């Protein structure tokens, strides 16, 4: 994967998804997401947070439901992206 300033970019992840689906176009989207999820999270959340990068953040209990909804929406976006890539691969075959 290509790195920009030592970080994995969205384009890197999209390429990885495409490679996985080209190997097996029928691979379950949730399985693909599980495989890329490791790239979406910083390796060292505390270090990432203190360095000013996106990383671990304490969620106030009052905002927990809002955070979980946001997280669910992000996952749904990725699943939709995976399905879109799958459809593009099928069209080109």
Model pTM greater than 0.75? no
Q: How far is CA 81 from CA 18, 27, 46, 58, 75, in A?
A: 10, 14, 29, 28, 10
Residues 50-69: pLDDT tens digits? 565 555 556 677 888 888 89
The residue among 80 and 67 whose pLDDT is bigger is 80
Determine the pLDDT at residue 88.
95
Determine the pLDDT at residue 49.
54
**CB contact at 8 A, 8 and 1:** yes
Residues 3-53: pLDDT tens digits? 445 677 889 899 999 999 999 999 999 999 998 887 776 565 555 555 655
């Amino acid at each position: 994967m290509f790195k920009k300033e030592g970080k994995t970019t969205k384009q890197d992840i999209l390429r990885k998804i495409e490679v996985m689906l080209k190997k097996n176009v029928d691979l379950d989207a949730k399985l693909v997401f599980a495989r890329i999820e490791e790239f979406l999270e910083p390796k060292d959340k505390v270090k990432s947070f203190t360095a000013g990068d996106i990383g671990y953040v304490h969620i106030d209990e009052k905002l927990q439901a809002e955070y979980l909804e946001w997280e669910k929406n992000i996952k749904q976006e990725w699943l939709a992206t995976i399905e879109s890539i799958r459809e593009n691969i099928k069209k080109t075959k």
